[in-house]
Amino acid sequence: MFDPPMTRAQGRLCRMLGALLVGAVATALSAPDTDAGLPTTAFVGMRVIDGTGAAPQDDMVVVVRGAHISALGHRSDIDVPNGASVIDATGQVLMPGLVDLHCHYGGGRDGLANAFGIQLRFGVTTVRSLGVDGDDNLAVIAEAESGAFPAPRIYTAGIGFSAPGGLPPGLPGLHRPTSEAEAREMVRRHAERDVDLVKIWVDPTLDGSLAMGSLPRIAPEIRAAIVDEARKHALVVVAHIYEEADARQLVAAGVRHFVHAVRAQDMDPSFVQLARDNDLTFAPALSKAQDAWFIAEHLDEVLDDPGLAAAFGAGAIARLRASAAETREGMLRNDQLPQLRGVYERTQRFIDTMQDAGITVGVGSDSGAGRVAHGWGTHHEMRLLVEAGLTPLEALAAGTGNGARILEADAADFGTIAVGHVADLLLLDADPSIDIRNSRKIARVMQRGQWVEDIAPGG
Ligand SMILES: [Zn+2]
């Protein structure tokens, strides 16, 4: 059901032949059997949630050799290799590392390295960074990919495209073309950078808030020029949407991947068939959509959450605690709240309808924007998908296998637990298919066959 786009490494190879790339391609193409003789770990006796949405399987064995999963099956069918280090995971649950399709990063090298480390400790092993990666961020991402410090697998849209004066307002350095020719030239220059994607914002509101009035949107013909030029450079386009008419125009121009939802109004039922006919994908950012009131309404829960303290930092939590009543009141005094709650409820209905219709739904939390903390936000988004009507297994598939397929289609070798796939794994102490909040009960995280506490200490 998916076009076969090039893998990220192949796409980059077409666009640039830098020396850095050679290592990345070699890694991406290494077959599992080249891991022979490498350290081997066997997880034994646990429940496996494989990330495809299939029912969990009990009393399993998963063998990791080097960076890859080399064997998988019921305990009675799989021999644990001699010399493997055996993890008795009886009573635990093994699932794939999480894929967050909507993140933003700032704060320079320290800020990015810190966010990446937090995400890894929360089990987020793949991220899509959507639109605020200037050359500074791209340099840090390249450094992370060269192994200088621990980080998830990163897909980046570099700097995104919007209209002059449009969303996100006031952000310097954004691509804000005023003609088709300028848009094409900007995409050409964009493609010369080490980027995977093009991000377009098409939203007249501030993510549903009308506090700034109606913001300008990129003209439809300029959007079409961006999408066409991106296709010529093998760059996938991801669009932030709000109104159905904009979504339809972008689909007609060739866009398939969306963040947020049709949420200015409930979608017309015919939009579901359009989504099916065009293999559209959606990552709704429910976390961002309710962050204007979630913390205010759950302040005690938030202040007592050690994982969130780790994500926000102890200083930020202490400041929140010191001003708890004021913080709560301040957030709830926002006169845009009724409007924002309406947008949120429409987003819930949209994504539940899409899931029921068999459209691919992913997890994209908008972590790094507003009050959505890295790492924590990815789990929170799965919880909110369940509140929107998905089953826990559907939300877990959204956060793993679906995310990987949205990024790499059938070429994805991560996001699901399967022989030959990269060993990005979460070992949990409780079952998230019973209660999605158990995705936070993380015992250990493995990235490419290595324990994250060994590569990203401090968590
Ligand atoms: Zn965003």
**Token code pair at residue 24:** 């990345």
The last residue of a domain, from among 390, 409, 428: 409
As to burial, measured by CB atoms within 10 angstroms (0-12 exposed, 13-18 middle, 19+ buried), residue 299 is middle
- Residue 68 inside a domain? The answer is yes
Shared domain for 105 and 43, answered yes or no, is no
Per-residue pLDDT of the chain (459 residues; tens, 9 = 90+): 333 344 454 444 444 433 333 334 334 444 444 556 789 999 999 999 999 999 999 999 999 999 999 999 999 999 999 999 999 999 999 999 999 999 999 999 999 999 999 999 999 999 999 999 999 999 999 999 999 999 999 999 999 999 999 999 888 889 999 999 999 999 999 999 999 999 999 999 987 888 888 999 999 999 999 999 999 999 999 999 999 999 999 999 999 999 999 999 999 999 999 999 999 999 999 999 998 888 888 888 888 887 777 777 778 788 878 888 887 888 788 888 889 999 999 999 999 999 999 999 999 999 999 889 999 999 999 999 999 999 999 999 999 999 999 999 999 999 999 999 999 999 999 999 999 999 999 999 999 999 998 765 544
- Rounded to the nearest angstrom, the distance between the alpha carbon of 366 and the centre of ligand 1 is 5
- Residue 305 inside a domain? The answer is no
Shared domain for 421 and 438, answered yes or no, is yes
Give the domain extent around 456: 31-95+414-459
- Residue 23 inside a domain? The answer is no
- Residue 422 inside a domain? The answer is yes
CATH of the domain at 42: 2.30.40.10
Q: What per-residue string of b and e applies to 27-41 under the rule 16 or more CB within 10 Å gives b?
A: ebeeebeebeeeebb
- Rounded to the nearest angstrom, the distance between the alpha carbon of 102 and the centre of ligand 1 is 6
Shared domain for 85 and 127, answered yes or no, is no
Shared domain for 90 and 104, answered yes or no, is no
Shared domain for 338 and 459, answered yes or no, is no
- Residue 329 inside a domain? The answer is no
- Rounded to the nearest angstrom, the distance between the alpha carbon of 389 and the centre of ligand 1 is 23
Domain total of the chain: 2
Q: What per-residue string of b and e applies to 370-387 under the rule 16 or more CB within 10 Å gives b?
A: bbbbbbbbbbbbbbbbbe
- Residue 322 inside a domain? The answer is no
- Residue 62 inside a domain? The answer is yes
- Rounded to the nearest angstrom, the distance between the alpha carbon of 203 and the centre of ligand 1 is 12
Shared domain for 425 and 398, answered yes or no, is no
Shared domain for 424 and 379, answered yes or no, is no
- Rounded to the nearest angstrom, the distance between the alpha carbon of 365 and the centre of ligand 1 is 8
Other C-beta atoms lying within 10 Å of the C-beta of residue 245 = 12
- Residue 16 inside a domain? The answer is no
CATH of the domain at 243: 3.20.20.140
Contacts of 293 (CB under 8 A, 6+ apart): 331, 332, 334, 337, 340, 341
- Rounded to the nearest angstrom, the distance between the alpha carbon of 260 and the centre of ligand 1 is 9
Closest listed residue to residue 164, CA positions, set 217, 100, 112: 217
Shared domain for 65 and 190, answered yes or no, is no
Shared domain for 237 and 249, answered yes or no, is yes
- Rounded to the nearest angstrom, the distance between the alpha carbon of 370 and the centre of ligand 1 is 9
- Rounded to the nearest angstrom, the distance between the alpha carbon of 130 and the centre of ligand 1 is 6
Shared domain for 115 and 209, answered yes or no, is yes
- Rounded to the nearest angstrom, the distance between the alpha carbon of 168 and the centre of ligand 1 is 9
d(CA 239, CA 9): 22
- Rounded to the nearest angstrom, the distance between the alpha carbon of 116 and the centre of ligand 1 is 17
